[in-house]
Amino acid sequence: MVLFPGMTALDVVGPQALLAGLAGPSFHLVAERIGPVASDTGLEIVATADFETCPRDLDVLIVPGGDGTPDQMRNERLLAFLRDRAGRAAWVTSVCTGSLILGAAGLLTGYRATSHWCVRDGVLPLFGAIPVDERVVFDRNRVTSAGISAGLDFALALSARLRDPDYARTSQLVAEYAPQPPFAAGTPRTAGAAITASATGILKDLIEGSFAAARAR
């Protein structure tokens, strides 16, 4: 799993909590430099490998999203790393706006994919991807998931492919993942126009930055 400054911590720790049992000590948190990497809320996660020490052949490559996404869409060192490892990985995956980073690396051309709702339909097509309004999208060996919380759904769906559905069900029960949110406001459709406008305002820099980074490629 890739780490970068400005990533969303839940994009990382949600899937990591559910997939770590499959990977064991071979779950690598990879960044440009080994050591702590600050998320977009300041929470730091420690990278255990860098681009040089990360194994060359991977079962799964995971890219999170976050406010730092536009900068990483321009980070040629990261994009080269992703292209190299993706060429041999069994699964090339993302959480939230991590799909835009995969797109910037040229890894989603012609693939069905999803992302955070605020950029899915506008930015993904700029990379030749086919946007899909679903929580988790499988297309051949590409797996993308929608915004932040969908990383948990992604990890369970991928666990079922990597091991079997009962393993994934057991992981879900261990995590007591039985969401009953207090509000039906998790998508623009259910949240309504006023709440969506407020959320879009909060996400303004991410939206504009992602469009600018995509158009610059």
Contacts of 102 (CB under 8 A, 6+ apart): 63, 82, 86, 92, 94, 108, 113, 142, 144
Residues annotated as catalytic are 96
Contact 11, 95 (CB under 8 A): yes
Q: How many beta carbons lie within 10 A of that of residue 117, not counting itself?
A: 19
State how far the alpha carbon of 43 is from the alpha carbons of 19, 113, 204, in Å: 21, 28, 22
DSSP string, 9-33: HHHHHHHHHHHHHHHGGG---EESS
